[in-house]
Amino acid sequence: MNFNRFVVISGCSGGGKSTLLNELARRGYATMEEPGRRIVKEEMRGAGVALPWVNHVAFARRAVAIALADRAAVSSDAGWVFFDRGLIDAAAALQHLTGEPALTNLGQVHRYHRRVFLAPPWPEIYVTDAERRHGLDDAIAEYQRLLEVYPSLGYEVTILPKVGVRERADFVLPALAG
């Protein structure tokens, strides 16, 4: 399978990643919802053990498992596939929390397209909700870690401009052609 067509949209929580993925899906591209949001929704319906505000390590481990499953589930005939976060984000969180070499074990083996797009902190649009309870300071700290993690694994980081969703999508698509 050609993993070079797997494109990660990552960065700061509340920076407009999911909105951008929705726009790309509207344009006919395959997209993969953020593992963390899916975990939180599922855990809130049940016992809630792997919630980031209950057990962050269990949450990160579940995110790794889901991100691996997402990669395996993509059709071999799909074109560009856009991931709202993904395995690198989950492995980086797990390594940060536990010290386990998750990035070496997972991040080097399971590759994405060389260009990764990061949504920068955008305080003007940042909101918390039932699924995102952490504050902007925590989101910025995670963003700073990701700014270091992706290049350390050989990825080219492109920062998304703070513009409307259509303009962001128009920015991403030609950047992949270059």
pLDDT in tens, 31-42: 999 887 788 778
Residue 156, SS3 per DSSP: strand
pTM of the model: 0.89
Band the pLDDT of 26: cuts 50, 70, 90. Answer: very high
**CATH number of the domain encompassing residue 40:** 3.40.50.300
Q: What is the mean pLDDT of residues 127-136?
A: 59
> Are 136 and 176 contacting, i.e. CB atoms less than 8 angstroms apart?
no
Mean pLDDT of the residues in the chain: 85
pLDDT score of 124 more than 60: yes
**Do the bridges between strand 6-11 and strand 156-159 make them parallel or antiparallel, or are there none, so unpaired?**
unpaired
pLDDT score of 178 more than 80: no
Q: Give the model's pLDDT for residue 126.
A: 57
> Structurally, how many domains does the chain consist of?
1
Domain that holds residue 165: 3-177
From residue 79, give the alpha-carbon distance in Å to each of 2, 11, 34, 178. Answer: 10, 23, 19, 16
Task: Name the region of 169 (left: φ>0; alpha: ψ -120 to 50; beta: rest).
Answer: alpha
